[in-house]
Copies of this chain bind each other. A is one copy, B any other.
């Protein structure tokens, strides 16, 4: 018999679910929603009516932009608790994206209304600082999560090693800006020196943070528009207003008032330190 009992064709399933035929093909290809039966000779797909429920869930999860692999995980969840956990996690993610978008809109409007004040730039010699540091190769999209993990550990270690001597900071080198990922070194300065020790990536250790001469600008507000401060600072350095230019190591940020220190994003204070080539010692 050619009639498949209780099964419907793609076109029919499309009308039942409001998923297009092309979408159903795609979900078959990626194994998200396999037809109940596929005719081995014609390749015709046949769907069971009880697959409509899965299709409805898929459609709704995709409508809230859950990535296909996560949707697959939801469908394959062993029980309702796991399933609800996955969905709740994604809805949290959505809320974060919504907050990010709202912040980006505010950021845009700040630029358009000219509310942006050009920061003043000064030159500063920063000495070598004993501290606790953690290093990692991090992507720009993960830097927030990375910092949230690393700084508490750094502060904990600093407490055990004699106390915190000043604001935390970080060094961004090696393609951090050019590639949106690179080597990041987070640090917290120590009161008094500790024995420097090696440690693997991401694990806090005692070390000396190299100093040098920097052009420095203070950034007020959230990190979203810290590019304005970088632009003002870097433009001045590039224009030659602060002596010799050129690659002189990583850019340093110093977190005078971090997001953890203030409930108001406008209260955040960050010093951006752009390295300057110091005159060689042999220069007369």
* CB interface residues, A 218-262, toward B, < 8 Å: 224-228, 230-231, 234-235, 238-239, 251
* CB interface residues, A 1-45, toward B, < 8 Å: 6, 8, 10-12, 14-18, 20-22
Contact of A8 among B64, B84, B98, B238 (CB under 8 A): B238
Contact of A178 among B11, B61, B105 (CB under 8 A): B11
Residue A82 at the chain B interface, CB threshold 8 Å? no
Q: Is the CB of B12 within 8 A of A238?
A: yes
Interface of A is mostly: helix
Q: Which residues of B contact A12 (CB under 8 A)?
A: 234, 238
Copies in the complex: 2
Q: Chain A interface (Cβ within 8 Å of chain B)?
A: 6, 8, 10-12, 14-18, 20-22, 49, 52, 56-57, 59-61, 63-65, 84, 87, 91, 94, 98, 101, 104-105, 107-108, 111-112, 177-180, 224-228, 230-231, 234-235, 238-239, 251
Cα-based distance from A49 to B112 in the complex (angstroms): 19
Closest residue of chain B to A172 (Cβ to Cβ) is B15
Q: Which residues of B contact A84 (CB under 8 A)?
A: 112
Of the A-B pairs whose beta carbons lie under 8 Å apart in the complex, a sample of 24, sorted by A's number, is A11-B178, A12-B238, A14-B177, A15-B177, A15-B230, A16-B238, A17-B227, A17-B231, A20-B178, A20-B180, A49-B235, A52-B231, A52-B235, A56-B111, A56-B227, A56-B231, A57-B111, A63-B107, A63-B108, A64-B104, A65-B101, A84-B112, A94-B105, A98-B98
Q: Which residues of B contact A235 (CB under 8 A)?
A: 16, 49, 52
Shortest C-beta distance, A271 to chain B (Å), equals: 16
Q: Which residues of B contact A105 (CB under 8 A)?
A: 64, 91, 94
Q: Which residues of B contact A227 (CB under 8 A)?
A: 16-18, 56, 59
Shortest C-beta distance, A58 to chain B (Å), equals: 11
Q: Which residues of B contact A94 (CB under 8 A)?
A: 101, 105
Q: Which residues of B contact A11 (CB under 8 A)?
A: 177-178
Cα-based distance from A173 to B87 in the complex (angstroms): 35
Sample of 14 more A-B contacts, CB < 8 Å, known A56-B227, A60-B107: A11-B177, A11-B178, A15-B177, A15-B251, A16-B227, A16-B230, A20-B178, A20-B180, A52-B231, A60-B108, A63-B107, A63-B224, A65-B101, A94-B105
